[in-house]
Structure 1
Amino acid sequence: MSQKPINFRHLSTLVAVAILVGTELVGASWAAGWALGGLFQLDPLVSRAFEAIFALAGFVGLYFFMRTAVKNEPIRG
């Protein structure tokens, strides 16, 4: 059973999209956690927890985005 060769054009596109969308999505969600902590004048520890939760949500969103991107632009083939 032979595998198809790697399409480096698709691979480079997916890497570029992961960097661009990942930076935007994780950065914006992290900033939202920071902003909510400051807006409600929360304790710094609680504010950091908000940042971590929102950043985790950003990473989950990036995972689902990349999963869909790889389905639409496969690396092999």
Structure 2
Amino acid sequence: MAGSGGRFLTVASAATLVATEAIATAVAAGWALAGLFHLGDIGEYALMALFTAVALYASWIYLRKATAAEASLPH
């Protein structure tokens, strides 16, 4: 039952979890650093956007590597 459809669901679920946690951490880090350094609203949004972009890139790399790892497993 754990054929290619099950593997795809596993990779998609793990990637969604990792991406959600990475983005939440990025937004929280931007908010915290902007507050710590008194950067104001614009600085806060800029840091959130910057950290979110990094989190999305890291999530994309994770998805690619997880897909490659699952594809290399024997059927």
TM-score class, shorter-chain normalisation, is: 0.7 to 0.9
Relative contact order, CA 8 A, sep 6+: which one is greater?
1
Residue equivalent to 2:11: 14
Report the TM-score, using the length of structure 1 for normalisation: 0.83
* Structure 1 moving runs of 4+ over 6 Å: none
Gaps of 5+ in 2: none
- Note the C-alpha offset of 1:37: 0.5
Identity %, equivalent residues:
31
Kindly indicate which of the two structures has a greater share of residues assigned to helix.
2
CA displacement, residues 37-57 of structure 1 (integer Å, 9 cap, x when unaligned): 011111211110011000111
Please provide the CA RMSD for this pair.
1.3
Q: Aligned with 1:41: secondary structure?
A: coil
Report the TM-score, using the length of structure 2 for normalisation: 0.85
